[in-house]
Structure 1
């Protein structure tokens, strides 16, 4: 009998155990709740609350509040963990209809990780067959610090934008003192309309824009009202006039300053207020609708580094007093960008162009350091940052000389400054032999009807002509003959070895130099014209300066760099010609000055070498007269510490390339005094 009772008891225990396994446990419900929480499914989470919790916290205090807090704090990567209750405690919970389970929470926020420990109480409810567990929720589940009240606050600290510096750490762009102009409406005096007109005239803005600011709903007679205009500290004359006006005040703040103004506007760029389209693409934790962003130039290229990271603090207040910090990310100021540019070279080159349309680049031929990138005419970036008038903006846009256009980023027909490159290609592939003399008679040459009676022309008559004489006199016919002799495929191959059709390897957007619209030279006339820099060939001014480095480095072309942190002396293209051949090209470039087309450079106090070029901008091959762009690429023959490439537009009545030789020579003298 005793054995019977033991067996029956075991049987009953198994039945009860089986029944308990069918029931929903607190663990099951908590797993479901935590899964929804990690997915931020707040509506579904609310359905799992006890009736008491729902009575105490309506949907706006739960769903809406959760969503707003998590959105405002950019909460992601929610991870929730708990230790399961023992079998004994589960049994007790089933009997009592309540269970309390400690848990830990880990969240990622805009200010960094937030971690906390809390406990959840689950209660059973419902009819016997449909009993389930529900969460007895309170605001401590959001953050324990607000369980009994309190408000979550966010404070941000704006990073200081990094400076842009030249090679000597002199500023190209920095954060300086500026003054925000505003009005105290109640102090405008007896004739407010006259005061507004005078102020509008001084600031080059409209009276309507002033009225718009003064008509904002928050404006009071005794409050300072900004009118959307800032004035640099250096503009002392304007500030003095503003400070003498009744009701006009300024508040000191910081803003972007560009010390070189027009001289470096295209390379440095400027900042402006971020657009709605840009804001959608940017990280919302880094940018708001009131932020400034790099618009052009270095300001745009290195926006991520210059911007920095905002400092963010998430904290809790009670009665306007801070009682707890939930997370804090310290501010990270933007990184300073030190370039290889040289302010002296930049200004000298820009000023030498005297607002005429043109461009120039300077590079150290041994290190590859870019010393200057110039585009003329230009604009004052300071005006664009602090509010240019509509009329002034339209004047910039409508100016036929295109001051907003970045010429050093563009490509142009190089004219005869490409001839040393053609010579290098010919020397390397054996087409050109320095001592070989060509019989060239007259001022024109062609192949008759097979060329459609088209003829290549030259300026100076000489016969016979070798490489040295051809370079000195810039003989188009000599180079056309040699181009045709080597053939289009060989010329294309050589130009590609010099980087044509390839992105210039520099940390700045520069248009790619091109051989032709198709990338090939399958027409003999096109081959002839390309060999001396006409046809369809185009190059950027920096690429041209870079190509000449191969003549000064035993046939190796140096990689151009723009940042001081980059490794100098890197070879971009190796073995373009032998050291002996490079020396030959150097000798021809010196001869261009001593006995050729760059005679003005003989006036310098030190020897200069280089090559002139005149690119004719003709719409058709048979057009007689067109506009001309003048070129000169030059360097100090002995020091070889700088190469300057310069192009000036529309020089046909100004001395053509001779004018450019003069400009480059004078700049070299100025910077090497």
Structure 2
């Protein structure tokens, strides 16, 4: 009997222990709640609060409120932790049916990090469902969201938009700034007897549809005596403002807006800002995209886009708990950080002078300080008005720009073009340095054409003028002799010629803040055909370069053989060398003196530069754009020029379609006038 009683006693103890182990503990239950909280699973959390809490706080005061507050405050990196109970504390809680858990909440918000401590109470209740089983539930109140609203109140958020940084030139003159602009709007009650006609007139003047105007007027908050904003107008829209002022119901207010004082002259350089679109945000990293709201502006094109991170600044924010009697408690605060100003090396006067000199012509130009590498101007013509895109461009205006054969929205200064004879000083420098060209050594050239034998078929290299006697490198540069450079290129051979061009930066990205297309000797990077090699030697063939790179390739002639590194930022280190000792000082001096003779000599190709009352040096170039020798193609005219003595500015300018306007002489005239204007 004793043995049977002992077995029964042990069996009973096992069953009691097993039942005890299956019973949920408050700690296990709070673990689940915390897990849902960290994952922001608010519906699941709501299913774990007490019956009394459910009666006090229906779904919209729990699930919806959590979601709205966390979304409005941009809550992220949420981490809720708590102090675990000891075994004795758990047993006491099991016996009493209630448990307390001090916990800590940490999170990131729109106003910075937030941390608070609170205490959770869990109560054992009958679980909701078909089977009446007991479980632990959280006794919830709004203090779990933020302790400051435990006894009621609301969460407030106030944001402060940063001022966008401004883009300035080297003299702190404005390129892209924040200024006062007119915002046109309508007071609905003042539209007069014929509101539909008035709206049509307004729509026509501000490039909006009547439907868009109606959408603004039909917003829920609009009342008859309220100002309803429609569109910002730039300071240049004075005529439009005057016409709008005569219409019934139209009103204005001054607001802050982005202004581009140089307009079209610097549009490709500065770019513009516009309201951030879904496509814009998709191109950003998730972390960067979170920094933008639906109505925020973002840089489009140019420096506005390139330096978006520095320019945009960071929004300021204050999160407050507002009690039922109106008292505010600050939960988190982040000061607004205005955007940084970008001080460039650009000279607004030079930028504007070059653009105006185009006078509607197509082309591109770069101006640099040849002794420091500072970029003074980057010009693309024709251009567009950045205000059109900033303040809303009409579809008809957009279509007009896109269909314009001159392609005003094409950024030419970041693109590459055939350099023509403007590359000859570089070919000369390569030849002088590798020994294939010897100073003073003449080449016998007869006639105006040359072919290197049967392998060339009917193709011939043509020069503009015949020479009187042997042609040396100086004479070849002065008269721009294609045959001399073609023969020297063939003599060097493809490998040596390409290597020399690579020494001058061909096939390599420019070490420059603004992205530029790399210059190339050919579409493939190699030259396998002798005719192509001959043509490439004087800037034809498939060779292409940008205006900025062209300007930089002349800096070794003025800096004892060193090619400078360009910069567009005023605070960047100046006089940085990109390519060291490409040529010797003697070779640089020879070419520099010859570039003066190109202007000064009676048979030089840049004689029009003598019109200035100070000496100018430089080299012309005519790039023929045709697929075959027999084709009558267009021509682009180049001139790279600088003041011979001061040497504080060097301009590389290309004008398209100069064939019937004097060729490169047309460009020489423009560069000369620019230098006369800015000197």
Q: TM-score range by the shorter chain?
A: over 0.9
- 1:124 CA drift (Å): 2.9
Q: Does 1:106 align with 2:106?
A: yes
C-alpha distance after superposition, 1:117-161 (max 9, x if no partner): 111112234599975433222221111122222222322211111
Could you tell me how far apart the structure 1 residues matched to 2:326 and 2:248 are? 40
Matched with 1:249 is 251
TM-score (norm 1): 0.92
- 1:299 CA drift (Å): 1.1
- 1:171 CA drift (Å): 0.5
Q: Which runs of 5+ in 1 are unaligned?
A: 1-11
Q: Does 1:634 align with 2:641?
A: yes
Matched with 2:650 is 643
Contact persistence 1:279–1:289 (CA under 8 A): no
Matched with 2:69 is 69
Q: Does 1:657 align with 2:652?
A: no
Q: Please state whether the residue corresponding to 1:409 is helix, strand or coil.
A: coil
TM-score (norm 2): 0.91
Matched with 1:541 is 547
Deviates more, 1:628-637 or 1:596-605: 596-605
Q: Please state whether the residue corresponding to 1:659 is helix, strand or coil.
A: helix
CA 1:238–1:55 in structure 2 vs 1: closer, same or farther (change >3 Å)?
closer
Q: Alignment partner for residue 511 of structure 1, among 503, 511, 517?
A: 517
Q: Does 1:230 align with 2:232?
A: yes
Matched with 2:349 is 344
C-alpha distance after superposition, 1:537-580 (max 9, x if no partner): 00000110011111111111100000112111111111211122
Q: Alignment partner for residue 194 of structure 2, among 191, 207, 210?
A: 191
Q: Please state whether the residue corresponding to 1:408 is helix, strand or coil.
A: coil
Q: Please state whether the residue corresponding to 1:27 is helix, strand or coil.
A: helix
- 1:210 CA drift (Å): 3.7
1:289-300 alignment runs, 5 A limit: 289-300=294-305
CA 1:451–1:284 in structure 2 vs 1: closer, same or farther (change >3 Å)?
closer
Q: Does 1:410 align with 2:415?
A: yes
Q: Does 1:42 align with 2:42?
A: yes
Matched with 1:609 is 617
Q: Does 1:431 align with 2:444?
A: no
Q: Alignment partner for residue 456 of structure 1, among 458, 461, 474?
A: 461
Q: Alignment partner for residue 177 of structure 1, among 174, 180, 185?
A: 180
1:492-531 alignment runs, 5 A limit: 492-531=498-537
Could you tell me how far apart the structure 2 residues matched to 1:108 and 1:203 are? 43
Contact persistence 2:114–2:331 (CA under 8 A): yes
Deviates more, 1:79-88 or 1:290-299: 79-88
Matched with 1:8 is none
Q: Alignment partner for residue 592 of structure 1, among 582, 598, 601?
A: 598
After superposition, the CA RMSD in angstroms is: 2.6
CA 1:316–1:426 in structure 2 vs 1: closer, same or farther (change >3 Å)?
same
Q: Alignment partner for residue 266 of structure 1, among 265, 268, 271?
A: 268
Deviates more, 1:151-160 or 1:483-492: 151-160
CA 1:607–1:480 in structure 2 vs 1: closer, same or farther (change >3 Å)?
same
Q: Does 1:466 align with 2:472?
A: yes
Q: Please state whether the residue corresponding to 2:413 is helix, strand or coil.
A: helix
CA 1:395–1:19 in structure 2 vs 1: closer, same or farther (change >3 Å)?
closer
- 1:519 CA drift (Å): 0.5
Q: Please state whether the residue corresponding to 1:407 is helix, strand or coil.
A: coil
Could you tell me how far apart the structure 2 residues matched to 1:208 and 1:175 are? 30
Matched with 1:482 is 488
Matched with 1:557 is 563
C-alpha distance after superposition, 1:347-403 (max 9, x if no partner): 111111112111110011111100001111122212332233333332222222222
Could you tell me how far apart the structure 2 residues matched to 1:583 and 1:601 are? 21
- 1:320 CA drift (Å): 8.2
CA 1:447–1:453 in structure 2 vs 1: closer, same or farther (change >3 Å)?
farther
Contact persistence 1:447–1:453 (CA under 8 A): no
Contact persistence 1:315–1:322 (CA under 8 A): no
Could you tell me how far apart the structure 1 residues matched to 2:70 and 2:216 are? 35
Could you tell me how far apart the structure 2 residues matched to 1:586 and 1:190 are? 75
C-alpha distance after superposition, 1:451-493 (max 9, x if no partner): 1221100001013100000000000000000000011111111
Q: Alignment partner for residue 329 of structure 2, among 318, 324, 338?
A: 324
Matched with 1:3 is none
C-alpha distance after superposition, 1:21-60 (max 9, x if no partner): 8865433433333233223233443343334334443444
